Amino acid sequence: MKRVLFLLFIFPSLLSAQPWLKFFIPDWEYKALASYNPDYDQGSILSINVADFTPQLNGHNLFWKLDDNGTLMYELLIGNGPEEGCRFDLPCITTTGEMILPGSKWGTELIGDPMLIKLDSCRQKEWCTSLVNNPSQPDFFWDAVVTEDGSIVALSIQNDPDSMDSFHLHKFTPDGQPLWRKELASPQLHPDIWDPDPWKLLLMPDGGFLVSGFCYWPNPGGGLQNYIRMFLVKADVDGNEEWFYVHGINDYKYTLGVTSVIYNNKIYTDGAWNNPQNSYSTPHLFVNDLDGNHIYDAPVVIPDTLNRFAADYFLLTNNSNGHFYGAAVMFQPDSYEDTRPVVFKLDTLGNVLDKFIIETVPPQYSGYPSLTHDGKIIVAGACAGTNPDYDDIYAMRLLPELELDSVPWSNLNYDTLCPEPIVSHVISLDDCLIVVNNEDYKPPVKHTELKITPAPVPANATLRLIYDNTLRYRNITVKCYNSIGKEVTSFCVNSGVNETTLDVVNWSPGLYMVVAFSGSKAVGRCKFIVE
């Protein structure tokens, strides 16, 4: 295991109470904080993406367990060594102590396959499932949620060589068996979308799923230029797309969406927009209802006496009293040399109510905010390191009134759901379930039929065929047969189409059969009469 040097900075003015501000110096050539995550026992988990540049750039992940005092308790190293890289940034920690790790694994050829790992309450590997894909289109799992029945839904991103990236939802049983795979915001349904970049998967109140992120969308004035746009897409409990929203498609502002939270039956999404007063993108808040309808949006303006400004997106978390906490980076005008982390509180309209700038943290990147179990705010991120070529990791904890918290020196029991003390160890990626043909996930039984309804019946001129569930199928062909089984006509139906029409005025009177095929498999049928 690599050793981690832990430094605690004590400010002379706070000798009686040490501030909860920690710096970690891992023994790796490069590292970047991926996320901060509260653990079930009042501890916390830091997810850190690391890479050694020798013998090659192969990434790994460290997961650090911190106690309430910010002391490092143990680390988990994911991966089998320098010849096999991996990345698992955003763990999902359950109330029963398990950790779901969505990510990717790759070998010496640097081609990635999405992988899902489940660790038990003792942080030992319970199972792992790997999906083997087309080598020219590496995938990775980015985020995951656990449903009420213990099933796991993971968000995958597919990198296409032609820059037509796509993303999918995958559902797994509690023991890691794949159930289904559903594409969202596809170019088949939304021809204007290009290169979608999803950031966050959220479990919705109705049991469905929300994905937030950004994509490219055509210039409203025409031409070849595409604008970055914030988007939201909602899927039902079976992963089928219900609605899709893209912000500001009729204006000329660039917008960027990142993560979303639900509060008071509204969707609040953090992100950025291009400020017409300068060349920088600045923080922005987007608000939609649960059906995806835009309600309002607002710039997030953070006042600063030194005339610094927050550039690019911010990251959002919420609390129970209708206020949100955000984290961003403050810059000097026309310079990225002296950056400082800022934590701020804002209301539901995007007004900044209070802020806290950490002047003592070295120049750094955007921090990741999260709420602790007792309503405090932790912000962690990467900052300029003791070695000028590599990053260090910082973590700070603030009180709800945005003052730096002090170390409580508590002596709590941690990892209480594990009968034995947890020590640092390696999580091997061996012995995983390998799923080769992940296109063939079986859909839920209740959705196996493509429903077709003819109208009017009987028909004498024009027949309407009304479809239900076409979103669940691809390569749909509809064929009509007469009473002796002879094919009369055949046509294709795109996924998502709800209705087609047939001119039957010259058809012989009698009974006809309609059969819908997905590929070579019959998935729906109906009968109708021509008078």
Q: What is the pLDDT of residues 142-182, one digit of tens each?
A: 999 999 989 999 998 876 554 457 889 999 999 999 999 89
Report if residue 349 sits inside a domain: no
- Check residue 28 and give its pLDDT: 64
**Single-letter residue type at 340:** R
- Check residue 77 and give its pLDDT: 87
Burial of 228 (0-12, 13-18, 19+ CB in 10 A): buried
Q: CA–CA distance from 400 to each of 354, 375, 505 (Å)? A: 10, 7, 73
Q: CA–CA distance from 470 to each of 71, 313, 447, 496 (Å)? A: 54, 37, 10, 5
What's the CATH code of the domain at 518?
2.60.40.10
- Check residue 6 and give its pLDDT: 39
Reduce the DSSP state of residue 338 to 3 states and report it: coil
| DSSP for residue 199 | E
Report if residue 460 sits inside a domain: yes
Task: Please list the alpha-helical segments (H only) found in 84-227.
Answer: none
Q: CA 521 to CA 486: how far, in whole Å? A: 19
Report if residue 522 sits inside a domain: yes
Phi-psi region of 355 (alpha: psi -120 to 50; beta: other; left: phi over 0): beta
Q: Is the peptide bond before 458 cis (omega within 30 degrees of 0)?
A: yes
How many domains is the chain partitioned into structurally?
1
Report if residue 239 sits inside a domain: no
Q: CA 32 to CA 383: how far, in whole Å? A: 9
- Check residue 12 and give its pLDDT: 40
Q: Find the domain containing 479 and state its range.
A: 448-530
Phi-psi region of 176 (alpha: psi -120 to 50; beta: other; left: phi over 0): left
Q: CA 459 to CA 455: how far, in whole Å? A: 7
Q: Which residues of the chain have pLDDT under 70?
A: 1-16, 26-32, 34, 51-59, 80-84, 107-111, 133-138, 159-164, 222-225, 275-280, 305-313, 319-320, 333-338, 361-367, 388-389, 436-448, 471-472, 474
- Check residue 155 and give its pLDDT: 94
Contact 90, 142 (CB under 8 A): yes
- Check residue 313 and give its pLDDT: 67
The partner residues of 149 in beta bridges, in order of sequence, read: none
Reduce the DSSP state of residue 447 to 3 states and report it: helix
Residues in the chain: 531
526 is written with which tokens? 């109906």
Q: CA 402 to CA 376: how far, in whole Å? A: 9
What's the pLDDT tens digit per position in 289-314? 999 999 999 988 887 766 666 666 67
- Check residue 10 and give its pLDDT: 40
Report if residue 210 sits inside a domain: no
- Check residue 136 and give its pLDDT: 54
Q: CA 41 to CA 39: how far, in whole Å? A: 6
Nearest residue to 206 (alpha-carbon basis) of 269, 245, 262: 262
Report if residue 224 sits inside a domain: no
- Check residue 125 and give its pLDDT: 93
Report if residue 327 sits inside a domain: no
Q: Name every residue whose Cβ is closer than 8 Å to that of residue 446 and which is 6 or more positions away in sequence.
A: none
- Check residue 51 and give its pLDDT: 64
Reduce the DSSP state of residue 160 to 3 states and report it: coil
- Check residue 82 and give its pLDDT: 56
Reduce the DSSP state of residue 162 to 3 states and report it: coil
- Check residue 139 and give its pLDDT: 78
User: pTM for the full model?
Assistant: 0.76
- Check residue 287 and give its pLDDT: 94
- Check residue 117 and give its pLDDT: 94
Q: CA 343 to CA 283: how far, in whole Å? A: 13
- Check residue 192 and give its pLDDT: 81
- Check residue 81 and give its pLDDT: 60
The DSSP bridge pattern shows strands 315-318 and 85-87 to be: unpaired
Nearest residue to 405 (alpha-carbon basis) of 453, 371, 446, 449: 371
Report if residue 463 sits inside a domain: yes
- Check residue 3 and give its pLDDT: 36
- Check residue 221 and give its pLDDT: 72
- Check residue 14 and give its pLDDT: 42
Place of tokens 């990510």: 103
The partner residues of 327 in beta bridges, in order of sequence, read: 315, 343
